[in-house]
Chain A
Amino acid sequence: MIELSHVTKRFGDEMAVDDVSFKVAKGEFCALVGTSGCGKSTTLRMINRLLEHSEGEILLDGQPIRDFDAVQLRRRIGYVIQSTGLFPHWTVARNIGLVPRLLKWPSTKVHSRVEQLMHLLGLPVGEFAHKFPHQLSGGQAQRVGVARALAADPDILLMDEPFGALDPITREKLQEELRALQSRLHKTIVFVTHDIDEALQLANHLVVMRAGRVVQQGTPLELLHHPADKFVESMLGGVERGLKQAGLTRVADHMLPLSPTLPAQSRVPSSMSLRQALSVMLRDHTERLTVVDPHDMPVGELSMRKLIREPKADQGHDREH
Chain B
Amino acid sequence: MSLKDAMPVEKGRLSWFSPNWVLLLLSTIALGAFFGLETASVAPNRIVSGTGYLVFSALGWQGALLGMVLILALIGFSCIAECQEYRDAYKAMLVIVMALLALMPFALMVATSRLVDSDLPQARLGIGAGFWVTLFVLLLALVELRTRLALARIWSWSLLLPIGLLWWLCLSLWLEPLALMREYHSRSEQFSEAFRQHLELVGTAVGVSLMLGMGLALLMRRYPRSQKAAFAILNFLQTIPSLALFGLLLAPLAWLAANLPLAASLGISGIGWAPALVALVAYSLLPMVRNTFIALEEVSPAVIDAAYGMGMDTRQVFLQVRLPLALPVMLEGVRITTVQAIGLTTVAALIGAGGFGTFVFQGLGQAAMDMVLLGALPILLMASVADALLGAVSDFLRPGGAK
Contacts of B324 in A (CB 8 A): 89
Contacts of B9 in A (CB 8 A): none
A56 CA to B234 CA, complexed, in Å: 47
Say yes or no: is B309 at the interface (Cβ < 8 Å to chain A).
Answer: yes
Say yes or no: is B305 at the interface (Cβ < 8 Å to chain A).
Answer: yes
A135 CA to B400 CA, complexed, in Å: 9
Please tell me which one of the listed residues A50, A90, A149 contacts residue B308 in the complex, with CB atoms under 8 A apart.
Answer: A50
A102 CA to B307 CA, complexed, in Å: 11
Contacts of A83 in B (CB 8 A): 300, 302
- The verdict on A86 contacting B306 (CB below 8 Å), with A132-B402, A134-B400 known, is yes
Minimum CB distance partner of B327 in chain A? A89
Say yes or no: is A75 at the interface (Cβ < 8 Å to chain B).
Answer: yes
Say yes or no: is A148 at the interface (Cβ < 8 Å to chain B).
Answer: yes
With both chains docked as a complex, state the minimum distance between the C-beta of A43 and any C-beta of chain B, in angstroms.
15
Contacts of A180 in B (CB 8 A): none
Q: Is the CB of A81 within 8 A of B310?
A: no
A43 CA to B290 CA, complexed, in Å: 36
Contacts of B365 in A (CB 8 A): none
Contacts of B305 in A (CB 8 A): 50, 81, 85
Q: Is the CB of B400 within 8 A of A132?
A: yes
Say yes or no: is A274 at the interface (Cβ < 8 Å to chain B).
Answer: no
Say yes or no: is A245 at the interface (Cβ < 8 Å to chain B).
Answer: no
Say yes or no: is B72 at the interface (Cβ < 8 Å to chain A).
Answer: no
Say yes or no: is A118 at the interface (Cβ < 8 Å to chain B).
Answer: no
With both chains docked as a complex, state the minimum distance between the C-beta of B111 and any C-beta of chain A, in angstroms.
53
Stretch of B179-187, B267-275, B311-319 with 4 or more beta carbons under 8 angstroms from chain A: B311-319
Q: Is the CB of A74 within 8 A of B399?
A: no
- The verdict on A85 contacting B399 (CB below 8 Å), with A71-B313, A99-B311 known, is no
Q: Is the CB of A88 within 8 A of B312?
A: no
Q: Is the CB of B325 within 8 A of A89?
A: yes
Contacts of A82 in B (CB 8 A): 302
Say yes or no: is B139 at the interface (Cβ < 8 Å to chain A).
Answer: no
Interface string of B232-249 (1 = CB under 8 A from A): 000000000000000000
Say yes or no: is A193 at the interface (Cβ < 8 Å to chain B).
Answer: no
Contacts of A99 in B (CB 8 A): 310-311
Q: Which B residues, 77 to 102, have Cβ-Cβ distances below 8 Å to chain A?
A: none
Q: Is the CB of A84 within 8 A of B306?
A: yes
Instruction: Tell me whether chain B's interface is mostly helix, strand or loop, or mixed.
Output: helix
Say yes or no: is A79 at the interface (Cβ < 8 Å to chain B).
Answer: yes
Contacts of B308 in A (CB 8 A): 50, 74
Say yes or no: is A72 at the interface (Cβ < 8 Å to chain B).
Answer: yes
Say yes or no: is A91 at the interface (Cβ < 8 Å to chain B).
Answer: yes
Q: Which B residues, 274 to 310, have Cβ-Cβ distances below 8 Å to chain A?
A: 300, 302-303, 305-310
Say yes or no: is A2 at the interface (Cβ < 8 Å to chain B).
Answer: no
Say yes or no: is B321 at the interface (Cβ < 8 Å to chain A).
Answer: yes
Minimum CB distance partner of B402 in chain A? A134
A76 CA to B401 CA, complexed, in Å: 33
With both chains docked as a complex, state the minimum distance between the C-beta of A319 and any C-beta of chain B, in angstroms.
38
A21 CA to B300 CA, complexed, in Å: 32
Q: Which A residues, 101 to 152, have Cβ-Cβ distances below 8 Å to chain B?
A: 102, 131-135, 145, 148-149
Minimum CB distance partner of A82 in chain B? B302
With both chains docked as a complex, state the minimum distance between the C-beta of A190 and any C-beta of chain B, in angstroms.
13
Say yes or no: is A38 at the interface (Cβ < 8 Å to chain B).
Answer: no
Q: Is the CB of A89 within 8 A of B399?
A: yes
- The verdict on A50 contacting B402 (CB below 8 Å), with A85-B303, A89-B325 known, is no
Minimum CB distance partner of B312 in chain A? A102
With both chains docked as a complex, state the minimum distance between the C-beta of A2 and any C-beta of chain B, in angstroms.
16
Say yes or no: is A231 at the interface (Cβ < 8 Å to chain B).
Answer: no
With both chains docked as a complex, state the minimum distance between the C-beta of B144 and any C-beta of chain A, in angstroms.
29
With both chains docked as a complex, state the minimum distance between the C-beta of B47 and any C-beta of chain A, in angstroms.
59
A84 CA to B307 CA, complexed, in Å: 11
Say yes or no: is A207 at the interface (Cβ < 8 Å to chain B).
Answer: no
- The verdict on A85 contacting B316 (CB below 8 Å), with A71-B311, A132-B402 known, is no
A243 CA to B312 CA, complexed, in Å: 45
Contacts of A75 in B (CB 8 A): 310-311
Say yes or no: is A223 at the interface (Cβ < 8 Å to chain B).
Answer: no
Contacts of A79 in B (CB 8 A): 306, 309-310
Chain B interface (Cβ within 8 Å of chain A)? 300, 302-303, 305-313, 316, 321, 324-325, 399-402
CB pairs A–B below 8 angstroms (8 shown): A73-B311, A75-B311, A85-B306, A89-B399, A98-B312, A132-B401, A133-B402, A148-B310
The 9 nearest A-B residue pairs measured at CB: A85-B306, A132-B400, A89-B399, A75-B311, A74-B311, A79-B309, A83-B302, A85-B302, A134-B402
Given contacts A71-B312, A89-B325, 8 further A-B contacts (CB under 8 A): A74-B310, A81-B302, A81-B306, A81-B309, A87-B303, A87-B306, A99-B310, A132-B400
